[in-house]
Every structure is written in structure tokens, then in C-alpha cells.
Homo-oligomer: A and B are copies of this chain.
Amino acid sequence: MSEMGKAGPVTVSPEAFLAMGREVLAKQPFSILMGAQLNALEPGRCELQLTIAEHLKQQNGFLHGGVVSYLADNALTYAGGTALSVPVVTSEYKINYVRPAVGDRLVARARAEYVGKSQAVCRCEVYAVTIHGEKLCAMAQGTIVPLPEAARPDIP
């Protein structure tokens, strides 16, 4: 008789790991709407970008803060999720907007700075990019936690 135990970790090539991350993004209708792309992904680190476009702006011609928050939050989640190796959800985060986002692309780089059993605390910087270089737009710090069992949300 064979005994089936819990599967151990599977070795995945860096290319396959990034591909898996892109599959997740492709299943998020809102991320498709935002035009988000995953540039890089490794356990505990990611780079996410989107193209700055008219429909993402606010009344002063800058990218809407909500778009910057979206990219930071998604990047924090990828960093924490790949660090914890389980399905995760962002518990909370804080973001400072330091410059309006003006440029061609918005790029978010996040990494898990602390990884424990029940949480990953991650940081992220968001840049507005043009052919002339990058300018820091926002900085975030947030807490990523495993999704409760059976993907049930934490509802009393």
C-alpha cells in the first residue's frame, strides 16, 4: 500500500515562478483593467508596473492616488505571498505619497523584510518612470497574512 503524505515543496525554475505569478495577475479582472504587468518575481520580492494613461488620472493631470495605492498594495501582496508560500491577503498597509506620479510608467518594487509563521511585513517603493529616469512617488509598509482556512474570510 502506498502512503500519501503532505507534498513537500516543489522546485520551480525562476521562469516558471514568474509565470505562475503572471497567471494570478491574469485572473484579477481589476489588474487587467489597470494594465498591471509583473516584471519580476522571486520568493519575497517583486516588481510590478503599469502604463500611465489618461483614464487613470485625476483632475490635475497626475495619476490618481488610488492607482498608486493599487500598485503598492498588489506588490506588497506578491512579496508577502511568495515569502509565506501560501495564499495570502493584505491585512493592512500604510502609504506615503511623496510626489505626484507623472511619467510614462509606474513601477512598484516590494520585498518581504520580515517573514514569520503568521505574517510577512513588507515594504514597497513606487516610482514614476520616464526615459530620463525614475522618481520616487510613494513608500509603503504593510502586513501580509495567510488567507484563513478554506479561503474563508475572517468574518465573525
Contacts and interface: CB of A to CB of B under 8 A. Distances in A.
A11 interface: no
Given A69-B66, A115-B156, A121 B98 contact: yes
Contacts of A67: 30, 70
Given A28-B58, A59-B27, A94 B93 contact: yes
Contacts of A141: 94, 96, 123, 139-141
Contacts of A27: 58-59
A74 interface: yes
A154 to B, nearest CB: 4
A24 interface: yes
Contacts of A115: 156
A33 B121 CA distance: 31
Contact of A33 (B55, B95, B139): B55
A97 B88 CA distance: 13
A99 B153 contact: yes
